[in-house]
Structure 1
């Protein structure tokens, strides 16, 4: 190596060694805190990080559980996007589902939390429970299955026939034209879950002095207060809620399976997760299933990065 190159590389190495020494010093000073966090990090790596890395590695193999994984490179991904027409239908359905239900449920969660926060404590508790109950109730799909039943006894068909909108019952849960829309409605009904409670908690923990200071600084109405004070103060809760809503909108499967069955007619309600369940838990083609899971992970990760960028603009 020329002398000039060695002299240029020396400061870089010294800087790197300095950072490592500073990190080692910080770890030594905060060793009690790191020791308390160690069990969580160990469990997180074993049950979360390691399975994700393992799934990414297996996505480049043919693995049917009974035999050892065989390296096949990019073949699973090529099959997904070129040969697997059902996956393309599932991808389209999932993206459409997420683009509609994700933002709508996120905005609805926050607006309802914001409105409920204005109520008295006792009424607020009751109303919060009423809105949150569907997300924790068992067999909630039964209500919608009865409502959208394909015979004349279904509530929707009975109402439409009685008032002359239709002459014969519509097969709501068997007709591909209506299945995805109905599943979106049910998902929106179920979406007031953890994010909804996080927003209410964030609103309850706000510092009241910020609102008083805002009124002195020229905040004239509730909408300005919402944009310049409330939302910036709730960035952690907004980020948590965004992650939860994105995850639920992209990972929809139980709603589709319970409402229209599996597989759905003409794959009209097929999603990436139902496709993943098909190959992972029924066919046991684990390498291909891991490729599907990796694609879904990349989509979710990209969506979260976009949401983080948008949330940084709040209040500017």
Structure 2
């Protein structure tokens, strides 16, 4: 009696596996087609057009004139205000991004330990500033530079100062106040995604982890909670990085445009200056392209870091 030899298992590449999945679920791709069309038209195409215009001199009124890398050379060699805006933007990103991200997660983690009704109420309260549009304008009253500003009036009445402090015009305080307001407003969509992710973790995993030797809440957080929240952590990171690199409205509302000695001038402020006010669209597009690749690079680096969570 002959025994049939077992065939060697077939190994497929990741690309072949993805093709198999695409064929199996091709109906889903047809459903995604309208979204992909609009995403291409309103996201990918504008990015490509911006890259093209960044190599031109274009003022909207006249046809674009190709000038090669002159816009980029001008940015780094002949525009000290742009270099200052890059420094300010990176400073804001380094502080607001991580602090806002960690603050959002910790608040979500604490709220998930509360009863449902209280958690819902506090979630609405903490989330409200991020959807209230000009909610940060209240800080213009708190830090008003005259004697009637809330903080100045209190300090004067206590005798701690003799003259009102120009909180929103003095370079020593401007950036600190912008950071404070931006972190306060950072409980946005990422905060809600963290709450959803925390509530979606299966309670049975915590019970199993306790049997396997997990002894405290920090070990639960690192080995159970965070690995189950990778999609929400990724999404929150993207939103946090994007928001921290796109700070502009807050600086204009608090410090005016331009701010004193460009102390809180950001890349977005610089982009608006040349794109909306001066109508130097080619130069503005070069600023936008650099900001786009800066965001892309930082997002990729953060995603690689998050992939190691729980390992």
TM-score range, shorter chain: over 0.9
- Are residue 266 (structure 1) and residue 265 (structure 2) matched? no
2:6 aligned partner: none
Q: C-alpha displacement at 1:163, in angstroms?
A: 2.5
2:289 corresponds in structure 1 to: 294
Residues 1:27 and 1:111: Cα distance change in structure 2 (over 3 Å): closer
Please point out which of 171, 178, 195 is paired with 1:176: 171
The residue number in structure 2 matching 1:13 is none
Quickly say closer, same or farther: Cα 1:231–1:29, change in 2 above 3 A. closer
How far the C-alpha of 1:164 sits from its partner, in A, is: 2.7
**Cα–Cα, structure 1 residues 24 and 219, in superposed 2: closer, same or farther, change >3 Å?**
closer
Deviation at 1:28, TM superposition (A): 5.1
Shift of 1:142: 2.7
Change in CA separation of 1:296 and 1:112 when aligned onto 2, cut-off 3 Å: same
Q: Does 2:226 correspond to 1:224?
A: no
Which residue does the alignment assign to 1:43?
Answer: 38
TM-score w.r.t. length of structure 2: 0.92
Question: In the alignment, is residue 202 of structure 1 matched against residue 192 of structure 2?
Answer: no
Q: How far 1:19 moved relative to its partner?
A: 10
After superposition, what is the alpha-carbon deviation per residue over 1:226-259, rounded to whole angstroms, capped at 9, x for unaligned? 1111011100000000000100000000001111
Higher mean Cα deviation, 30-39 or 123-132? 30-39
Q: CA deviation at 1:139?
A: 2.8
Whole-angstrom distance in 2 between the partners of 1:192 and 1:280: 30
Query: In structure 2, what is the Cα distance between the partners aligned to 1:315 and 1:25?
Result: 30
Q: How does 1:277-292 map to 2 (within 5 A)?
A: 277-292=272-287
Once the two structures are superposed, residues 142-193 of structure 1 have per-residue CA deviations (whole angstroms, 9 ceiling, x without a partner) of 3100000001111111222222322110011111111111111111111101
Alignment of structure 1 residues 104-253 onto 2, 5 Å: 104-253=99-248
Shift of 1:27: 5.1
Structure 2 distance, partners of 1:225, 1:258, is 42
Does residue 101 of structure 2 align to residue 90 of structure 1? Answer: no
**Root mean square deviation of aligned Cα:** 1.8
Does the C-alpha gap of structure 1 residues 19 and 198 become closer, same or farther in structure 2, counting only changes over 3 Å? closer
Partners in 1 of 2:37 and 2:167 — Cα distance? 48
**Structure 1 residue runs of 4 or more that deviate by more than 4 Å after TM superposition:** 18-29
- How high is the TM-score relative to the length of structure 1? 0.91
Unaligned runs of 5+ in 2: 1-12
Q: Give the SS at the match of 1:315.
A: coil
CA distance in structure 1 between the partners assigned to 2:81 and 2:169 by the alignment: 18
Does 2:308 match 1:313? yes
Shift of 1:264: 0.8
Whole-Å separation in 1 of the counterparts to 2:118 and 2:16: 56
Residue by residue over 1:82-107, the C-alpha shift from the partner in whole angstroms, topping out at 9 and shown as x without a partner, is 10011011000000010011100000
Distance 1:197 1:36, change over 3 A: same
Structure 1 segments unaligned to the other structure (5+ residues):
1-17
